[in-house]
């Protein structure tokens, strides 16, 4: 297990990370979500021992990684938010460079380079210089560089920023495969809720330097599940029907837009009998009644007061 325990980082007067704890079990993909400036990149830099902590510890299988950083670096790969590649080199040469940093023996490195090129789908571009790569190809090679030494844990800091949807899908599928087939455990940060929803087993939401919610997708959605939203569509607007709904004390919120009325009620309220009797009394014809469960985006907005992307 990779664990961050009570991590804090202060830059002069700014408390970028404040007593943050999280863990990634072997086999998991864990999401770390937070609005801009929440402290995600600073937390990742501390977990990967790139910057010193002001406080706290990072542990691998209960052993302090801050006291044994080389042991951590052997089993951890980090995909940084910024592309960190040599533009004047080919993909193969870049991978060779990163492999040498890890002091990989030559024969092992050469075999591993071919394997990684295949994993990231760049095996057909052996001679092309990175400066001639598309944004998506660079992102893929950025991931390859972090994979060269076959890490057991991978931290990915917004690995799909600024690329086309096709490359993004490719990266998402690569992340899934790495986890499923190569058993790589992953901490994944993103500004895209749908990516985290698709990939992750568990999610941490952070804001202002600390974790404000954590759990499985369902557990996090449950934070907002004391209420539900019901969307009622009528064939045409009937004022008496809306007035009747407004008299219902179980409805905490009512919004009207054309023929659609949206109401909020407590989770356990059954509004259907009332809707049917009101439609009979007023002659309003129900076209549809939909119940919305809260999305992760709703929870995020509720907890942080901010949109995930801005
Ligand atoms: N080297 C530094 N010196 C001073 N302040 C810093 C430094 N690095 C980060 N900060 C500040 O710490 C806070 C957290 O920044 P950080 O980059 O970790 O957030 P983030 O969640 O990764 O944001 P984003 O999603 O925009 O990448 C911000 O207020 C930032 O300005």
227 neighbors 264 (Cβ within 8 angstroms): yes
Residue 124: is it exposed, middle or buried by C-beta count within 10 angstroms (0-12/13-18/19+)?
A: exposed
Going by CA atoms, what residue is nearest to atom 7 of ligand 1? 11
Residue that the structure tokens 């009797």 belong to: 277
- pLDDT tens series, the chain, 310 aa: 999 999 999 998 899 999 999 999 999 999 999 888 899 999 999 999 999 999 999 999 988 988 888 889 899 999 999 999 999 999 999 999 999 999 999 999 999 999 999 999 998 887 899 999 999 999 999 999 999 999 999 999 999 988 888 889 999 999 999 999 999 999 999 878 889 989 998 999 998 899 988 999 888 877 766 778 899 999 999 999 999 999 999 998 898 999 999 998 888 889 999 999 999 999 999 999 998 776 777 777 777 777 666 5
Q: Where in the chain is the domain with CATH 3.40.50.300?
A: 2-222
Cα gap 30→140, rounded to integer Å: 20
Closest Cα to atom 2, ligand 1: which residue?
11
**CATH assignment of 2-222?**
3.40.50.300
ipTM over 0.90: yes
Distance CA 96, CA 109 (A): 7
Number of H helices, E strands in the chain: 11, 14
Q: Which residues contact 26 (CB under 8 A, 6 or more apart)?
A: 1, 152, 183, 185
Nearest to 300 by CA among 182, 170, 192, 159: 192
Helix 165-180 / helix 106-119 crossing angle, nearest 10 deg? 130
Question: Where do the CATH 3.30.70.2470 domains begin and end in the chain?
Answer: 227-293
Whether domain 227-293 has CATH 3.40.50.720:
no
pLDDT at 307: 67
Residue 16 Cα to ligand 1 midpoint, Å, equals: 6
- C-alpha 59/C-alpha 65 separation (Å) is 5
Q: What's the 189 CA to ligand 1 centre distance in angstroms?
A: 14
Query: Of all protein residues, whose CA lies closest to atom 23 belonging to ligand 1?
Result: 37
**Which atom number of ligand 1 is nearest to the Cα of residue 81?**
27
Which among 263, 262, 264, 258 has a CA at the least distance from the CA of 235?
258
User: Tokens for 275?
Assistant: 């809707």
Question: Ligand 1 pocket: which residues have CB below 6 Å?
Answer: 11, 14, 16, 34, 36-42
Question: What is the distance between the alpha carbons of residues 174 and 168, in angstroms, rounded to a whole number?
Answer: 10
In sequence order, the β-bridge partners of residue 64 are: 59
Alpha-carbon distance of 37 to 207, in angstroms, equals 8
């Amino acid at each position: 297990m990779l664990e961050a325990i009570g991590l804090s980082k202060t830059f002069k007067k700014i408390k970028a990370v404040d007593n943050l704890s999280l863990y990634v079990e072997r086999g998991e993909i864990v999401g770390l979500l937070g609005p801009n400036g929440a402290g995600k990149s600073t937390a990742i830099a501390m977990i990967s021992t790139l910057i010193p902590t002001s406080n706290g510890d990072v542990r691998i299988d209960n052993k302090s990684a801050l006291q044994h950083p080389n042991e951590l670096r052997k089993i951890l790969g980090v995909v940084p938010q910024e592309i960190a590649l040599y533009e004047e080199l080919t993909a193969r040469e870049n991978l060779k460079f990163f492999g040498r940093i890890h002091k990989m023996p030559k024969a092992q490195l050469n075999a591993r380079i071919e394997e990684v090129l295949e994993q990231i789908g760049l095996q057909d571009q052996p001679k092309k210089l990175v400066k001639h790569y598309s944004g998506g190809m660079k992102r893929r090679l950025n991931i390859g560089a972090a994979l060269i030494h076959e890490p057991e844990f991978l931290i990915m800091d917004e690995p799909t920023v600024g690329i086309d949807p096709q490359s993004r899908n490719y990266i998402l599928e690569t992340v899934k495969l790495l986890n499923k087939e190569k058993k790589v455990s992953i901490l994944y940060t993103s500004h895209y809720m749908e990516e985290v929803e698709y990939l992750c087993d568990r999610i941490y939401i952070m804001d202002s330097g600390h974790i404000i919610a954590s759990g499985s997708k369902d557990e996090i959605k449950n934070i907002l599940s004391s209420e539900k939203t019901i969307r009622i569509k009528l064939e045409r607007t009937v004022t008496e029907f809306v007035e009747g709904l407004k008299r219902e004390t179980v409805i905490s919120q009512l919004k009207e837009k054309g023929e659609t009325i949206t109401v909020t009620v407590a989770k356990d309220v059954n509004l259907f009998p009332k809707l049917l009797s009101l439609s009979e009394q007023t002659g309003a014809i129900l076209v549809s009644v939909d119940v919305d469960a809260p999305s992760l985006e709703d929870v995020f907005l509720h907890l942080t007061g901010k949109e995930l992307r801005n």
